[in-house]
Structure formats: structure tokens, C-alpha cells
Copies of this chain bind each other. A is one copy, B any other.
Amino acid sequence: MSDFKRALKISRKKNFSDWYQEVISGAELAENARVRGCMVIKPYGFAIWERMQQVLDKRFKELGHLNAYFPMFIPIDLFEKEAEHVAGFAKEMAIVTHHRLEQKNGKLTPAGELETPLAVRPTSELIIGESMARWIKSYRDLPVLLNQWCNVVRWEMRTRMFLRTTEFLWQEGHTAHETEQEAREETIRMHEVYNWFICDILKMFAIPGKKPEYDKFAGAKDTYTTEVMLQDGKALQAATSHYLGQNFSKAVGIEFQGRDGKLHNAHTTSFGLSTRIIGGLIMSHSDDDGLNLPSQIAPYHIVIIPLLKSDTDSVFNYCEKIKNNLPKDIRVIIDKKEDSPQNKKWNYIRKGVPFILEIGEKEIQNNSVYFTKRIFMEKQTLKFDEFINNINNLLNEHDTELKNRNDKRCLEKINKSINSIDELKDYFNKQNGFVMAKWAGLETNLDKLEELALTIRCIPTKQPNISGKCILSGKETSTEAVFAKSY
């Protein structure tokens, strides 16, 4: 493949933001909808989400969680029960006020006003908590471990495909426990499931940790986050897990008779991962030729492009033979559509299919397989049997390269030598990245961070335990935090 030809027009270096849009459109992942801030997830983008759902859903079920479905509409008076929670979400809720349309002066107009307006769920702690309050009577009913895959709406003013959209898809886990300890263990367990999914399955780079007090989920006692670093050095809060204490439990009345015969409030948790992770995946692994995908999430591992000259049948037969000889768990398609092989090939490069095979009469004669390794953008020819027998090694090589390449890029963007706000300013004037520096946990000088468009992303779980001066307050502390720009 020529070094001069690229599958995309815009490179990362030229304009990262435009490049991101071109990766999305080039891979046919999604497009903006006519409705402000909403997107259409196209079949190839949705297939990636379905693969993610399968992996996570299996893990949730192994850990005892049961899927269920709760109403999307939440009467607005229910929000009055948890003051912090509503304060966090009131500014971004879609509100249903009417239940029919009428023609008025030749124009469709809302009619049938509701007595109590309904919010479209921005998250479901309150409505699920209300059901839990009915279901839980005794400590024998605990724990309750629920999960729901659904759409949620947060009225965002500045949107960006996948990363921040008005409507998005997610899973939200909600659990109730007998004791604080059990609820805290569940919070950490699900945080670790996310870390595993994001780093081991999606091969992304992340620093797991706790959110600062002032930046927790609205109504939570503790929020754990998986802070992903993207290729531009910015951070993405990729998934969060919350210990909610007894806040929601008291708000909606989740009470149970304990082992001591007395009434207690349950301790609850919630945790969520959304389609925003697809944006993170794109910004982690894509290159100037488009998308790259980890094998567990790739809708197809292999696409076979038939090169048709005279003997169409024997080429199709040979393609089928390759497909049928591969292991059952290898996802293969043969693209028989009416289009030039070159067009097809560049389409699949943009889509990040790990192995793109071009099969014609030459391959039949030589009993060989000619293919492009997407992650290396290299061509290779293998004997038929060699290709079939080595497919798992090839996929491992693909995943290892994906992971190493991204990890290397990210590790280079980690800075541990910043000792003051001035140094922080200098650093971010020149580049983006994750600065790991001392922070004493006080809210001193947060406004100065804001001026630099920086935030404290998390207090990492792994701490160096060396004392030093907080770069914001000057106080002595052994705690380190991650400072970065973010999406």
C-alpha cells in the first residue's frame, strides 16, 4: 500500500476534531439527526454497541445482576425527594407536558396538558428506588442486583457525536444492600468490571480512581471513575460507579427488617456505561486511515473481497471455502456487492476490519490468501492452511499492537514532574496530557484550574505514598490527582 495514499482526507495532526468526524462518517458509524443534539447510530456503529452489550451483559449476569425495565417517564414531583440529585439534573431534562397534537390554524399544536409534567429519565435512581422500596421487606430480600439497558436524555447545550448527545443509550445498574460494607464492595466490584472492559477488552488506556468530592454524581457519597486518555491527550470519563449511601434509600423509603428485628434503610449503588464509550474507542485507536477495532468488539474480523474476472464461480467457491474453514467464532463476511474491489477495500480500511482479504484467480492457483493487516497497513500472502491455522495468532498480534501502540502514546503523555500552578500552565500551553501531581483535596484555587480549562479528573486508586506540596493549596499531602483537559 502506498505511503502517500490515505483513506481519510484529514489527519489527526491537521485537525483532531474534524478528523474524528471523518472517522465516524468514513466508517459509517453514525450521523447527526435533524433533532438538535441527537444522532442516528448507523448499522455498523450499532453492531459495535451490540458487541459491547454482549460482553458486558454476560459479565453482569455472571455476577448475579438481573435485567429489568422501568418507565422512561418520571413525574417531576418525584425529583423533589432528593435535593442534591435534582440540583444536578434539573438544568438538562426533557419535560413532557402534553399528550396529544391538534391542528390549530393549520399547524400541529400540543394539546391535552398533563396535571403533573413528566421528565424523560436522565438516570433512574429515583424511579427504580421506588420499585425497590415496594419489593424489599426483609434482609432476606437483599441484595437486589438490577440492570437496565435503555435510552436516557440529558439536554446538552454543546454536543459531539457519541461523546455528548441529548439522547444516548446506556446500561444503568442499581443495587440495594443490607450493609454499607456490602454496598461499597459492590461499587468497587462494578468499577473493576468497567476497568477490565475498558482496558482489557477495548484495549484503551485509563487511570481508575475516585472523583473529587465536589464532582461526584449528584446524590452520591462516592463516585469511582475510569478516566480514559485519548490520542489528543484529553480525558474522557468513560464509566462511573457510585456508592449512594442511604441518600436515595431514605428519599424513596427502601426499608427492610434487619437481622435485629428492627427497620433499616438499605445502602444502594448505581453504575453506568453509555454509547459515549464508542467515541472514546474511536479517539483511542483510530489512525489517519480510519477506525481500528479490538477483536472482541469488531463486528467482523475478516472481510473477503472477491476479485472477479472470467471465472466468477470458482472465485466465489474459493471465498466460501476460506470462510467455511475458519473457526466458528471468527466473524467473516464475503462482500459480493456491485462495486469496485478498490472502493470496497478502502471502505473496509476506514471501517477498521482487522483483516481484508482480496481473493482472485491468482490465489486459487497458488492455494493462497492475500490480505491486508489493517493495524499495520501491511500486505501479506499466506498459504491457505497457514492462514486458517494462524487466524487466532493473527488476531492476537492485531490486539497486542492495538494495545501497545495506544498505551505507548498515552504513557508518553503522562507527566509526574509538575509542582505548581505555573508549571501546570506552562505544560498545558505546549501540549495536552495527564498531569499527576499532589492535591490535598481542598477546593482552594479551583478557579485557576478553570481558567486553564483544566479539571481534576480523579484521585487514582494507585497512589505513590510520597509526601509533597499540593500544587493548588501548598499544603503538604501524600495524595496525587490527575489534572487534564476533558471531553
Give chain A's interface residues, CB within 8 Å of chain B: 31, 33-35, 38-43, 45-47, 49-50, 66-80, 86, 90-102, 108, 110, 112, 117-120, 127, 130-131, 134, 140, 146, 150-151, 153, 155, 166-167, 169, 337-339
Contact of B140 with A38 in the complex, beta carbons under 8 Å? no
User: Nearest B residue to A169 by beta-carbon distance?
Assistant: B69
Contact of B43 with A68 in the complex, beta carbons under 8 Å? yes
Contact of B74 with A35 in the complex, beta carbons under 8 Å? yes
Partner of A101, one of B34, B95, B134: B95
- Whole-angstrom CA separation of A68 from B50 in the bound complex: 10
CB neighbours (8 Å) of A40 from chain B are: 68-71, 131
Nearest CB in chain B: distance from A295 CB, A: 20
Contact of A100 with B92 in the complex, beta carbons under 8 Å? yes
Nearest CB in chain B: distance from A157 CB, A: 10
- Whole-angstrom CA separation of A120 from B118 in the bound complex: 12
Nearest CB in chain B: distance from A317 CB, A: 22
Nearest CB in chain B: distance from A315 CB, A: 20
CB neighbours (8 Å) of A70 from chain B are: 33, 40-41
User: Nearest B residue to A77 by beta-carbon distance?
Assistant: B108
User: Nearest B residue to A32 by beta-carbon distance?
Assistant: B71
Nearest CB in chain B: distance from A205 CB, A: 28
Contact of B71 with A47 in the complex, beta carbons under 8 Å? no
- Whole-angstrom CA separation of A74 from B244 in the bound complex: 35
User: Nearest B residue to A70 by beta-carbon distance?
Assistant: B40
Partner of A67, one of B47, B98, B140: B47
User: Nearest B residue to A92 by beta-carbon distance?
Assistant: B100
- Whole-angstrom CA separation of A153 from B90 in the bound complex: 23
Contact of B90 with A95 in the complex, beta carbons under 8 Å? no
Contact of A93 with B97 in the complex, beta carbons under 8 Å? no
Contact of A338 with B140 in the complex, beta carbons under 8 Å? yes
Partner of A100, one of B38, B110, B155: B155
Contact of B39 with A71 in the complex, beta carbons under 8 Å? yes
Contact of B86 with A93 in the complex, beta carbons under 8 Å? no
- Whole-angstrom CA separation of A442 from B366 in the bound complex: 69
Contact of B72 with A50 in the complex, beta carbons under 8 Å? no
Contact of A33 with B67 in the complex, beta carbons under 8 Å? no
Partner of A117, one of B49, B110, B167: B110
Nearest CB in chain B: distance from A122 CB, A: 10
The 6 closest A-B pairs by CB, nearest first: A43-B66, A38-B71, A41-B69, A99-B155, A95-B98, A90-B101
Nearest CB in chain B: distance from A323 CB, A: 16
- Whole-angstrom CA separation of A34 from B74 in the bound complex: 9
Contact of B110 with A97 in the complex, beta carbons under 8 Å? yes
User: Nearest B residue to A73 by beta-carbon distance?
Assistant: B35
User: Nearest B residue to A49 by beta-carbon distance?
Assistant: B69
Contact of B96 with A100 in the complex, beta carbons under 8 Å? no
A–B pairs, 7, beta carbons within 8 Å: A35-B75, A41-B69, A46-B69, A79-B101, A86-B101, A90-B101, A150-B151
CB neighbours (8 Å) of A98 from chain B are: 94-95, 97, 117
Nearest CB in chain B: distance from A303 CB, A: 15
Quick one: given A90-B102, A94-B99, A97-B95, are A167 and B72 in contact (CB under 8 Å)? yes
Contact of B108 with A96 in the complex, beta carbons under 8 Å? no
Nearest CB in chain B: distance from A164 CB, A: 15
Partner of A92, one of B39, B47, B96, B99: B99
User: Nearest B residue to A299 by beta-carbon distance?
Assistant: B66
- Whole-angstrom CA separation of A39 from B68 in the bound complex: 11
Nearest CB in chain B: distance from A177 CB, A: 16
Highest count of chain B CB atoms <10 Å: which of A49, A71, A75, A98:
A71
Nearest CB in chain B: distance from A80 CB, A: 6
Quick one: given A86-B108, A101-B90, are A43 and B67 in contact (CB under 8 Å)? yes
CB neighbours (8 Å) of A90 from chain B are: 100-102, 108
Contact of A99 with B95 in the complex, beta carbons under 8 Å? yes
- Whole-angstrom CA separation of A146 from B41 in the bound complex: 12
Contact of A68 with B80 in the complex, beta carbons under 8 Å? no
Contact of A120 with B96 in the complex, beta carbons under 8 Å? yes
Given A73-B167, A80-B108, A92-B100, 9 other A-B residues pairs in contact with their CB atoms under 8 A:
A31-B131, A33-B70, A35-B71, A46-B66, A50-B67, A73-B94, A76-B101, A79-B101, A95-B101
- Whole-angstrom CA separation of A45 from B92 in the bound complex: 32
User: Nearest B residue to A134 by beta-carbon distance?
Assistant: B31
CB neighbours (8 Å) of A80 from chain B are: 108
- Whole-angstrom CA separation of A130 from B98 in the bound complex: 25
- Whole-angstrom CA separation of A75 from B37 in the bound complex: 13
